[in-house]
A and B are shown apart, each in its own frame.
Chain A
Amino acid sequence: MITGTHLARAFGTQMALSDCSFQIDTGTVFGLVGPNGAGKTTTLRILAGLLQPTSGTASVDGVDVLDHPQGVRERVGWMPDFFGVYDRMTAREYLSFYASCYRIPRARVGRLAADLMDLVGLPDRMDTPVEALSRGMKQRLCLARALIPDPPVLLLDEPASGLDPRARVELRELVRELHRMGKTMVVSSHILPELAEMCTSFGFIDGGRMVASGTLEELTGSRDRSTLRINVAGDVHEAAAALEGVERVLATRPGDSSIEVDVRGGAETTSIVLQALLAAGVTMTAVNPVGSSLEDVFLRVTGQPLEQSA
């Protein structure tokens, strides 16, 4: 488990973090979302044991970042948003160097490097010079480096930035694979659809404070109440009438060619609504949830005063 309690960090007179608290359960993929300068990287660097908070405390896998920062560094795989590689080294030598930095016995290094390169999808790049790798390959190599000590926690700062669509898909698959392996991951990103697909819970940080956190359903409130927009081919009023009295349907709002339906409950309610409309002979062309995407939540929690969005 990862916890942050009233974390604050000042750089001169500038507060990068201010009273930031959160809790991340073991085995989750936590998406850290926020605008530029919100404090995402500062939070991750504190959790990586690379930056001391001005006040507050945090712990990673039960280890306090203030009392045992070195212990935290050894439990965390850290992948920064910008990172360099050493020139004139092959990928194998790059991983071998970091493996020796972690004091992994020399006899194990070769096999470990091969396994990690296989895991990140670069088994045929072992002897390629690091500087010759593409940006996406370097990202994956850096992830392999972060995995060398087999850390229980991975901190990935903007891992998809600068990647082409194919590399993003590969990275997403890699994160999912690591999730299946039981790693706890904190991933910061601006690319919200990517986060929505790879993360199991989210934290929205703005102005140095964690303004909202939870699963997507919890954040959108869709577990208790959600809205569906249903495009119909025929009369929208007829469709609205078909939903009157249907279980869990709270309200209907007919539009020009669609109706918005407020329902109680999450995704399972959608099937009830659709069955009712089909039974009434209504022809539907599209069904979409309204205001339940990560972008909607992002805009809501960062576009309103903190007191209201928290």
Chain B
Amino acid sequence: MTSIGSLVWNPIIAREARTRMRSKRAAFILFCWLAALGVVTVLAYRSAADQSGSVAALAHSGVTVFGALVAVVVALVMLLVPGLVGGSIAGERERQTLDLLLCTRVRPWRVVIGKLAASLAFMGFLLVASLPILSVVALLGGIAWGDILIVAGLGALTAITIGSMSILFSALSKGPTGAIVCSYVAMFILLVGPLLLGSYLLAQGVGSSTGGGFASSSVGPGGPSLAPATYQQSPGPPLLMAMSPGMAIGAEVASIATQNCTTAVYNIGPGFNSFSGVSCSGVTIDRITSGPLNGWHIWQVYAVFAVVLSALCIGLAIVALRGRVPWPRRARPGGA
């Protein structure tokens, strides 16, 4: 086996993928996934079409559908990943196959990575299966591919982060039920914890100052304009809130919607810049404007946090699994 082949060698991924796809549960999840996306796409598209009073508004329907699809996909990812990953290693322990696995030449880190990768691969499969539905956004237009990639990346990162937290609980728990419950609790804390804590700190006036905090871009009738920052505070609470995947993805989608309005104005020209009936005006928070991360997009802050959190959880899961079986004792000083 080549060195690259040896590095990526992981029989667990193939076995997990094969046995998972043979289950009725996989077919059921696929059906529900596609049904949810299909229903939401139809509803969002009809809603956008019903409210359209102009070509500009019709051009905005792609953003509406995109926002709705992103919301559903992220919600489904958050709903599915803890259940898929949480029971993986704990299930092996309950089934009493973990020791048999650790007796082989498969090292604990490969077990952790293999289990996580197999579960996330299933999520990837669901996304690939839903490409025909997701392509509706591309057909409607109005969104740059770069923006779609950023949101898709954030969604993938969120799945990896929640999966990493779940694999940690799976490695620590004795049974899959406890691991899955802990995974859902951790996912919920990750989603709303930073938002609640940041909001609380803001309400308490923690670190209040002027000239810092979030930057907001304002778009309304008459065209886009960069408004002065609406929220002025030290970077602490905004940074905290940026650690929520809901905040990061929501801010990015809202930012895309704002850009889309701008594009529509310039494409259509004077006389058609009325946005009545389209919720295109408003304030979008998308940047940090003070502190060491001044100028960073919220999604960038979240991405760094998610990568660090994922690496930490995966590392701890490997340590927990290594503790399951003995490893060579350290050489004693001056002794054998």
Contacts and interface: CB of A to CB of B under 8 A. Distances in A.
A145 B100 contact: yes
B96 A82 contact: yes
A87 B102 CA distance: 19
A297 B229 CA distance: 88
A283 to B, nearest CB: 57
Contacts of A11: none
A70 B108 CA distance: 12
A76 interface: yes
A69 B327 contact: yes
Nearest to A84: B95
Contact of B105 (A49, A74, A93, A145): A74
B19 A101 contact: no
A101 B11 contact: yes
B97 A83 contact: yes
Contacts of B329: 66-67
- Indicate the size class of the contact surface on chain A: 20 to 34
Contacts of B336: 67
Contacts of B14: 100
B11 A68 contact: no
A70 B327 CA distance: 7
A87 B101 CA distance: 15
Contact of A69 (B95, B99, B328): B328
Listed residue (B94, B104, B105) with the most chain A CB atoms within 10 angstroms of its CB: B104
A52 B329 CA distance: 10
A73 interface: yes
Given A51-B326, A69-B328, A86-B15, A101 B99 contact: no
A90 B78 CA distance: 33
B97 A78 contact: no
Interface string A123-154: 00000000000000000000001000100000
Contacts of B326: 49-52, 65-66, 69
A86 B103 contact: no
A85 B95 CA distance: 7
Contact of B101 (A68, A74, A93, A101): A101
Contacts of B1: 103
A83 B325 contact: no
A153 B94 CA distance: 27
Contacts of B22: 88
Interface string B241-277: 0000000000000000000000000000000000000
A86 to B, nearest CB: 6
Interface of A: 48-52, 65-70, 73-74, 76, 78, 80, 82-89, 93, 97-98, 100-103, 145, 149
Given A87-B19, A89-B15, 5 more contacts: A49-B103, A69-B327, A78-B103, A86-B15, A102-B105
21 contacts: A50-B99, A51-B325, A52-B326, A66-B326, A67-B336, A69-B325, A69-B326, A70-B328, A73-B103, A73-B104, A76-B103, A78-B99, A78-B100, A85-B97, A87-B19, A89-B15, A98-B100, A98-B104, A102-B104, A102-B105, A103-B9
- Sort A-B residue pairs by CB-CB distance and give the 10 closest, nearest first: A84-B95, A101-B104, A100-B11, A52-B326, A69-B326, A88-B22, A88-B19, A84-B96, A84-B97, A101-B106
